[in-house]
Amino acid sequence: MHKGMKDLEESLLRTDGIIEVHDARVPHSGRNSELYKRLVGGHKPHLLILNKSDLADPHYVNKSMEYIQIEQPNTQVVHTSLMSIDMKELTNLFGRLLQQIVESPRYTRRSSIEYNIVVCGIPNVGKSTFINKLRNLFANKASCERVGASPGVTRSMSEKVKISNRPKVFVRDTPGILEPRLKSANESFRLLLTNCIPIQQRELSDIIADYGLFLLNKYEQQRLYMKYCELDRPTDDILTVLTAIAKLKKCTQVYGNKRGYDLTGAALHFINEFNKGTFGHITLDQDILDAMEQEKLSDTNLFRASSGRIKKSI
Ligand code: G4P
């Protein structure tokens, strides 16, 4: 995926705007800060879509937008659920970026009459869904046409879809895949749990499910998993949860000459349900956002205290 960044860098000279898609449940974890530093840095219009907000805690969706905006003031941040976005919202969202692009200085691309946009982000956050939605949105318009070697068949990096005639705007057909930035074991687990990093070994799924259960308990979201697993009290024992799921879903496996519960299958089922929102709307990074808020509050108090002292001394 380093290649993804390299590809993007190479196409930067031909790009007028970057749309980054990220999972609203992990607004902090895995975001590739290199993108901002190396590609955006205030020079290219940058729209960050925090997607899958249907699965995230609404309170923390707003908080994350606020904090990202502080850290990256040149970025326009929006949140949405591309699964259920309607035409009006999509047109609105795209219009905002378009306006920013058209109003931004184009430096080396001043002479070009067309605008190129790339969509990028870490895996499984909704990049293809976004491109497909855009394609459908503009499909009925005469201005929309696919440009590239083999329309609809071959996928190459150069293929792009024209989505507006005035001004002429193209979106690259293939999203840029970025490498998730992993700063801690916690971040890795969060990205594994949300499928932003594919689970390579099926056997690891119970550890990932265990982490999911840990977060549900930590964020006091026990009610729905208890109901789903028919448990009468919260538990921090993943075996209890997996055995309950294996029983309910009849996940069994033959071990030697005996049939037993397939706990790995049950763990995968747990992760799947977690990602469908069965256990509730959860922002996995809410502890990070809370810590940022605390920091902001103590900074404000510090500022108040010191300005009080200054006033007194005056
Ligand atoms: P990518 O290109 O960034 O890798 O992501 P992609 O669009 O393939 O989306 C990854 C998965 O996330 C897909 O599910 C897609 O349907 C789902 N998804 C996209 N946007 C949203 C959203 O706003 N909310 C929710 N809940 N899910 C979303 P999948 O199961 O991998 O594929 P499929 O069953 O849709 O074919």
Quick one: 216 and 148 in the same domain?
no
Ligand 1 in reach of 127 Cβ (< 6 A): yes
Distance 32 CA to ligand 1 centre (A): 20
Ligand 1 in reach of 129 Cβ (< 6 A): yes
Ligand 1 in reach of 83 Cβ (< 6 A): yes
Against a cut of 0.85, is the pTM above it? yes
Atom of ligand 1 nearest to the CA of 277: 26
Q: Of 143-147, 196-200, 285-289, which gets the smallest average pLDDT?
A: 143-147
Amino acid (1-letter code) at residue 26: V
Task: Reply yes or no on whether the pLDDT at 155 is more than 50.
Answer: no
Quick one: 12 and 151 in the same domain?
yes
Distance 105 CA to ligand 1 centre (A): 34
Quick one: 158 and 44 in the same domain?
yes
Distance 121 CA to ligand 1 centre (A): 13
Ligand 1 in reach of 4 Cβ (< 6 A): no
Q: Of 11-15, 17-21, 141-145, 183-187, which gets the smallest average pLDDT?
A: 141-145
Distance 201 CA to ligand 1 centre (A): 21
Quick one: 248 and 216 in the same domain?
yes
In degrees, to the nearest 5, what angle opens at C-alpha 3 toward C-alphas 112 and 14? 5
Distance of CA 187 to CAs 190, 273, 276, 285, Å? 5, 20, 20, 9
The per-residue pLDDT for 46 is 87
The per-residue pLDDT for 93 is 82
Q: pLDDT of 72-121, one tens digit each?
A: 888 889 999 999 998 888 888 888 878 887 787 766 666 667 888 889 99
Amino acid (1-letter code) at residue 273: E
Task: Reply yes or no on whether the pLDDT at 139 is more than 80.
Answer: no
Domain extent, residue 96, equals 2-177
Task: Residue 277: give its domain's CATH number.
Answer: 1.10.1580
Phi then psi for residue 61, to 5 deg, are: -65, -45
- According to DSSP, residue 1 is labeled -
Task: Reply yes or no on whether the pLDDT at 190 is more than 70.
Answer: yes
Quick one: 224 and 100 in the same domain?
no
In a domain, 237, yes or no: yes
Q: What tokens does 129 get?
A: 């869904």
In a domain, 302, yes or no: no
Quick one: 151 and 253 in the same domain?
no
Quick one: 143 and 34 in the same domain?
yes
Distance 273 CA to ligand 1 centre (A): 14
Tell whether omega for the bond before 198 is within 30 degrees of 0, i.e. cis.
no
Q: Are 194 and 140 in contact (CB under 8 A)?
A: no
The whole-angstrom distance between residue 121's C-alpha and the CA centroid of its chain comes to 8
In a domain, 106, yes or no: yes
Quick one: 268 and 222 in the same domain?
yes
Q: Find, among 91, 87, 28, 80, the residue nearest to 51 by Cα.
A: 80
Ligand 1 in reach of 82 Cβ (< 6 A): yes
- Report how many domains make up the chain: 2
Task: Reply yes or no on whether the pLDDT at 5 is more than 80.
Answer: no
Distance CA 83, CA 119 (A): 17
176: three-class secondary structure by DSSP: strand
Atom 31 (ligand 1) nearest CA = 124
Q: pLDDT of 197-235, one tens digit each?
A: 988 888 889 999 999 999 999 999 999 999 999 999 999
Ligand 1 in reach of 81 Cβ (< 6 A): yes
Q: Are 118 and 101 in contact (CB under 8 A)?
A: no
Distance of CA 18 to CAs 82, 94, 116, 247, Å? 17, 12, 9, 47
Task: Reply yes or no on whether the pLDDT at 273 is more than 80.
Answer: yes
Ligand 1 in reach of 176 Cβ (< 6 A): no
Task: Reply yes or no on whether the pLDDT at 122 is more than 70.
Answer: yes
Q: Find, among 192, 175, 148, the residue nearest to 30 by Cα.
A: 192
Instruction: Work out the mean pLDDT of the chain and round it to a whole number.
Output: 83
Task: Residue 34: give its domain's CATH number.
Answer: 3.40.50.300
Confidence label for 179 from pLDDT (cuts 50, 70 and 90): confident
Distance 119 CA to ligand 1 centre (A): 15
Q: Does the annotation list 125 as a binding residue?
A: yes
Task: Reply yes or no on whether the pLDDT at 302 is more than 80.
Answer: no
Percent of the chain at pLDDT exceeding 90: 45
